[in-house]
Amino acid sequence: MMYKDKKVVFSGVQPSGVLTIGNYLGAIRNFTEFSDEYLCYYCVVDEHAITVRQTPADLRRRTYETLALYIACGLDPEKNTLFVQSHVSAHAELAWILDCFTMFGELSRMTQFKDKSAKNADNINAGLFTYPTLMAADILLYQTDMVPVGVDQKQHLELARDIAERFNSVFGDTFVVPEPYIPKATAKIMSLADPSKKMSKSDENENATVRILDPKDVIIRKFKRAVTDSGSEIKYEDGKEGIKNLMSIYGAFTGKTMDEIEKEFDGKGYGEFKLAVGEACADKLAPVQSEFAKLMNDKAYLEDVMAKGAENAGRAAVRTMSKVRRKIGFTEAKR
């Protein structure tokens, strides 16, 4: 691990649907703050996406779109390693090795496996079960110090830490044990239709989710239809989960505190507040959408970013895999 001159940040986003403001506020927007101080690897995790059946043409298109959104949201390919997971074969190789150091009981306790199994009862495949071990491989492959995660992924990161510590205890110092980074204010953006659930890009209810690429009129319409409660005060308090969620979103887009928002909308109704949230969201996303459109019209540039990112990531992956193979007793091919 002496080759690192900076601490490492790793994160990945699935190309399994159009990204939401939850992905933007809870993850991608925060990635830019690490670019100068850390060695950053940001991955389009297409291998994770196929635990659920995908239409191949859609998966390819969304892979380009996710990479373009990374860049449009402010991630400079010159400062960050942006790449596609399947372009670095070491992810799959290390995942298999780590499968052999992951207990069946650990995987069976993962809440996301239970949730996804319930939603995909006709396709409860082995990949869905071992998904967290592939996520551990993604992280440990780059000797990652810090992982920006939503609270729903914290359980998977804890498993990655356990696997790293178990491997290190058997074979000596091999993997950095990663720490989570969870932004407090916008750690979890909730559904507009059901504030008890996380906003999800796979939600079948169109009004539940605001996507980064939604047009302004669509964004405002969705916020106007957001579920609240029977009251009328804009207060950040228990029992008003819908309003709390809208206040969190408004605060994230405007930089205002909950106290400032309460004062701003004192004496005003839910309708006026919902409109303000929608406009703040749409205004902040407008430059992202404009840049995204330009990038999607330059496929050659995106492919160049993919190639350079895979080359950079591959160099780091080779160092880790050489160490791992040697420690577990694999032989090297002599050429």
DSSP 331: P
Q: Is 180 helix (H, G, I), strand (E, B) or coil?
A: strand
| Strands 81-84 and 39-44, sheet pairing | parallel
* Helix boundaries (H) for the chain: 21-23, 29-31, 46-49, 56-72, 90-99, 104-108, 111-119, 126-140, 154-171, 216-224, 241-254, 258-264, 270-296, 299-328
In degrees and rounded to multiples of 5, residue 12 shows phi and psi of -145, 150
In one letter, which amino acid is 239?
G
Residue 116: active-site member: yes
Sheet holding 8-13, edge to edge: 81-84, 39-44, 8-13, 146-148, 179-181
DSSP 121: T
Residue 244: active-site member: no
DSSP secondary structure string for all residues of 134-148: HHHHHHHTTT-SEEE
Cα–Cα distance, 29 to 135 (Å, whole number): 21
User: Cα–Cα–Cα angle for 122, 124, 127, nearest 5°?
Assistant: 140
Q: Which of 4, 188, 201, 224 is catalytic?
A: 201
Q: Which of 116, 222, 244, 274 is catalytic?
A: 116
* Of 56, 84, 79, 48, nearest in space to 68 by CA: 84
In one letter, which amino acid is 111?
T
Residue with tokens 């780091």: 316
Residue with tokens 């400032």: 260
Residue 240: active-site member: no
User: Cα–Cα–Cα angle for 41, 285, 82, nearest 5°?
Assistant: 15
DSSP secondary structure string for all residues of 58-78: HHHHHHHHHHHHHHHTT--TT
| Strands 179-181 and 39-44, sheet pairing | unpaired
Q: Which of 198, 216, 323, 327 is catalytic?
A: 198
Annotated catalytic sites, by residue?
Answer: 116, 198, 201
